[in-house]
DNA sequence: ATGGCCGCTTCGAGCGGA
């Protein structure tokens, strides 16, 4: 089973890239973030024609998450329970006995800002909910744009990013708290080359110079981590015309 | 020194992203 995550930065713009990528990779499940569209314009028909069911939790302009799956999905769930949030950042569904949770974690804007506080609260709420969700679904995968680079080796220039947003100690601690539920970073289950990233700034030739961060992740419970055979970041779509600033991450279970 | 890109909203400057 191939499961993947991709922040597409507008699904309207990136639909052709996603359809091409699905045809090439034959992923079984693809989690999308930043669809930036309302549900009434979501391209269900185009996806179905390509062989994928879809569930979507969207809103106009900002945020928006979706799960695409070759198999039908059950027990679809939107948002974090008992956490008041107008931003559409979470969708979950069960696919072939695997609980898939797709998340678009808050960016946080700047350390110490209101959005930063929201980000930390959001992570705490996610962790509380997932503790229960994992108890009910031992085979669970959390995929998405985490907006946190877990360690300095996930940052092209750790000195420049030290204590900055996406890299601050409190953010990394929040991610460790989440992983303390037993969630393993699929990418780090394997030997990986150095300087592998999943996001590069559009500005200043960020991609060509490989000035990136690894902020898109696939986290697996022990029952799934033991089944995981590979996890890679596919840079190919980042080289296309009008790319997303993120590259997809894909794991094989 | 600052911002330098992209997408969105809805025509165009400002916001958000990371």
Annotated binding site of A for Mg(2+): 7, 34, 145, 147, 245-246
Chain B positions within 7 A of any protein Cβ atom are 4-9, 16-18
Footprint of strand B on the protein (CB under 7 A): A 7, 9-10, 12-13, 34, 36, 60-62, 106-107, 109-110, 115, 145, 147, 165-166, 199, 201-204, 213, 215, 242, 245-246
In this predicted model, what pLDDT tens digit does every residue of A68-108 receive, in sequence order?
Answer: 999 999 999 999 999 999 999 999 999 999 999 999 999 99
Q: Which domain holds residue A224?
A: 2-252
In this predicted model, what pLDDT tens digit does every residue of A3-41 receive, in sequence order?
Answer: 999 999 999 999 999 999 999 999 999 999 999 999 999
Distance from residue A88 (CA) to nucleotide B6 (C1'), in Å? 21
Q: How far is Cα A92 from Cα A70, in angstroms, rounded to an integer?
A: 15
Q: Give yes or no for a contact between A166 and A147, defined as CB atoms under 8 angstroms apart.
A: yes
In this predicted model, what pLDDT tens digit does every residue of A170-204 receive, in sequence order?
Answer: 999 999 999 999 999 999 999 999 999 999 999 99
Q: Residue A238: is it exposed, middle or buried by C-beta count within 10 angstroms (0-12/13-18/19+)?
A: buried
Partner residues linked to A213 by β-bridges: A155, A199
The pLDDT of residue A30? 98
Domain CATH for A53 = 3.60.10.10
Nearest CA-CA partner of A35 in A47, A26, A25: A47
Q: Tokens representing A118?
A: 């929201």
Q: Whole-model pTM above 0.85?
A: yes
A156 is catalytic: no
For all residues of chain A together, what is the average pLDDT? 97
Q: Domain count of chain A?
A: 1
Q: Give yes or no for a contact between A238 and A200, defined as CB atoms under 8 angstroms apart.
A: yes
A53 is catalytic: no
């Amino acid at each position: 089973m191939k499961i993947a995550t991709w922040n597409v930065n507008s699904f309207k713009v990136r639909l052709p890239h996603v359809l091409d990528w699905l045809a090439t990779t034959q992923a079984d499940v693809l989690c999308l973030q930043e669809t930036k569209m309302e549900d009434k314009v979501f391209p269900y028909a185009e996806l179905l024609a390509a062989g994928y069911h879809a569930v979507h939790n969207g809103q106009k302009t900002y945020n928006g998450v979706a799960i695409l799956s070759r198999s039908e999905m059950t027990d679809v769930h939107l948002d974090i329970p008992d956490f008041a949030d107008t931003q559409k950042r979470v969708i979950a569904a069960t696919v072939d006995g695997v609980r898939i949770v797709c998340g678009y974690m808050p960016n946080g804007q700047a350390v110490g800002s209101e959005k930063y506080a929201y980000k930390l609260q959001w992570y705490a709420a996610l962790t509380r909910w997932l503790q229960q969700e994992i108890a009910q679904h031992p085979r669970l995968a959390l995929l998405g744009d985490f907006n946190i680079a877990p360690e300095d080796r996930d940052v092209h220039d750790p000195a420049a990013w030290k204590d900055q947003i996406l890299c601050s100690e409190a953010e990394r601690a929040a991610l460790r708290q989440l992983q303390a539920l037993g969630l393993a970073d699929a990418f780090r289950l394997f030997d990986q080359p150095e300087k592998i990233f999943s996001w590069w700034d559009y500005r200043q030739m960020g991609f060509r110079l490989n000035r990136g961060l690894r902020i898109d992740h696939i986290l697996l419970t022990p029952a799934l981590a033991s089944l995981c055979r590979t996890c890679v970041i596919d840079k190919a779509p980042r080289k296309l015309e009008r790319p997303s600033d993120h590259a997809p991450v894909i794991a094989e279970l």
